[in-house]
């Protein structure tokens, strides 16, 4: 392992990387820098030398393509993501829209940053979900396998994933939308216009439609309804965001379910004694173990599952991907463009191209 010094907005850090490894990629380096700086890989600009020159970052290439030396210093800057880092439009280098970090003691307050104050729940682009064909991704753990359970990419993926885990069938997804609507009605103090970004009645009307995409607000409400923590693992970073049902559900007690977030899509995760076991054999709710996540074999396996999906580019950069409005044909750039277009026109059907 060789030391590499990082100068970044938060200070100076040193990371250890295997410069002589043929299997260590640029993407692996970006992930290591993310751990030290909390700057997403898709937002990193790396410079080295004097005068400093920007490195060309192609995530798929081996680390040797950067010609780094032991003890070298990298200047890490945070920039807006671009589409020129060796990625394609269908699977960009990173996912910029990930669920905000929830507050363990008051999950209802966590979703504040999940949507712009004036925006409706974002319509999910009609993009194929990862691993839709062929064998689902899996990770071996404790005498069985943690399985990536892919659900349809029909704008109800969050509700379908949690319906599969809580209700044993994705057909109950519309019922989960009703639970969210009732949760907002019952707690107007928490779910006010400032939190929701629109009048509660309008939000309820919108989220009740099958074309509306769920996010952090819905995760917080459903965690409380089922009195079960929802752990969402981000494919790009491997970070796990936990939506607790409340103070009584925090502190290493209770149960949790696990979902996977790709930037534009949610899928479920379950445990099975065999990779091809029928659904009724799958364990979908797990006990929360006290202590660090590193001591929980299921959460360790979840991170490995995210690593496997990341290696297959099963995530999307929602800031830079190209979209087309399926209602009028207008070309758009990223989720921000889709939101603005939806607000201006009322159109909600978008496709990636």
Give the whole-angstrom CA distance, residue 265 versus residue 279. 21
User: Bridge-partner residues for 242, per DSSP?
Assistant: 231
Strands 2-8 and 73-78: parallel
Active-site entry in 154, 293, 322, 327 = 154
Q: How is 117-171 classified by DSSP, letter by letter?
A: TTPPSPPPP--PPTT-SSSPPEEEETTEEEEEE----SS-HHHHHHHHHHHSSGG
Active-site entry in 8, 43, 148, 265 = 265
Assess whether 154 carries a catalytic annotation. Answer: yes
Active-site entry in 157, 267, 282, 325 = 157
DSSP state of 69: -
Structure tokens belonging to residue 217: 């607000």
CA distances from 138 to 47, 50, 261, 270, 303 (A): 37, 45, 16, 10, 11
Assess whether 43 carries a catalytic annotation. Answer: no
Assess whether 225 carries a catalytic annotation. Answer: no
Comparing C-alpha atoms, which of 18, 32, 4, 21 is closest to residue 238? Answer: 32
Q: Are the beta carbons of 125 and 351 closer than 8 angstroms?
A: yes
Assess whether 8 carries a catalytic annotation. Answer: no
Q: What residues are labeled active site?
A: 154, 157, 265, 347
């Amino acid at each position: 392992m060789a030391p590499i010094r990082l100068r970044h907005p938060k200070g100076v850090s040193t990371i250890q990387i295997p410069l002589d490894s043929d299997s260590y990629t640029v993407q692996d380096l970006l992930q290591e820098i993310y751990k030290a700086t909390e700057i997403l890989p898709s937002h990193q600009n790396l410079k080295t030398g004097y005068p400093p020159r920007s490195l060309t970052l192609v995530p798929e290439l081996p680390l040797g393509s950067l010609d780094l030396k032991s003890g070298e210093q990298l200047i890490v800057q945070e920039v807006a993501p671009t589409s020129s880092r060796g990625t394609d439009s269908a699977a960009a280098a990173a996912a910029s829209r990930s669920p905000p970090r929830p507050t363990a003691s008051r999950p209802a307050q966590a979703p504040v940053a999940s949507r712009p104050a004036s925006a409706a729940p974002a319509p999910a682009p009609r993009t194929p979900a990862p691993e839709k064909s062929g064998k689902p991704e899996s990770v071996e753990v404790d005498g069985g396998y943690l399985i990536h359970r892919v659900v349809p990419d029909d704008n109800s993926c969050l509700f379908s994933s949690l319906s599969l885990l809580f209700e044993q069938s994705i057909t109950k997804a519309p019922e989960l939308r009703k639970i969210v609507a009732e949760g907002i009605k019952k707690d107007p103090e928490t779910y006010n216009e400032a939190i929701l970004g629109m009048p509660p009645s309008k939000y309820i009307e919108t989220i009740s439609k099958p074309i509306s995409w769920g996010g952090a607000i819905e995760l917080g409400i459903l965690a409380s309804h089922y009195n079960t923590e929802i752990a969402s693992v981000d494919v790009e970073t491997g970070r796990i965001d936990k939506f607790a049902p409340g103070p009584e559900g925090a502190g290493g007690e209770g149960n949790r379910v696990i979902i996977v977030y790709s930037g534009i899509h949610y899928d479920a995760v379950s445990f099975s004694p065999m990779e091809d076991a029928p659904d009724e054999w799958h364990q979908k709710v797990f006990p929360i173990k006290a202590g660090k996540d590193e001591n929980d074999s299921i959460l360790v396996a979840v991170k490995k599952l995210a690593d496997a999906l990341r290696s297959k580019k099963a995530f999307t950069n929602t800031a830079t991907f190209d979209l087309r409005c399926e209602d009028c044909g207008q070309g758009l750039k990223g989720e921000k463009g889709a939101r603005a277009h939806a607000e201006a026109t009322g159109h909600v059907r978008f496709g990636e191209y």
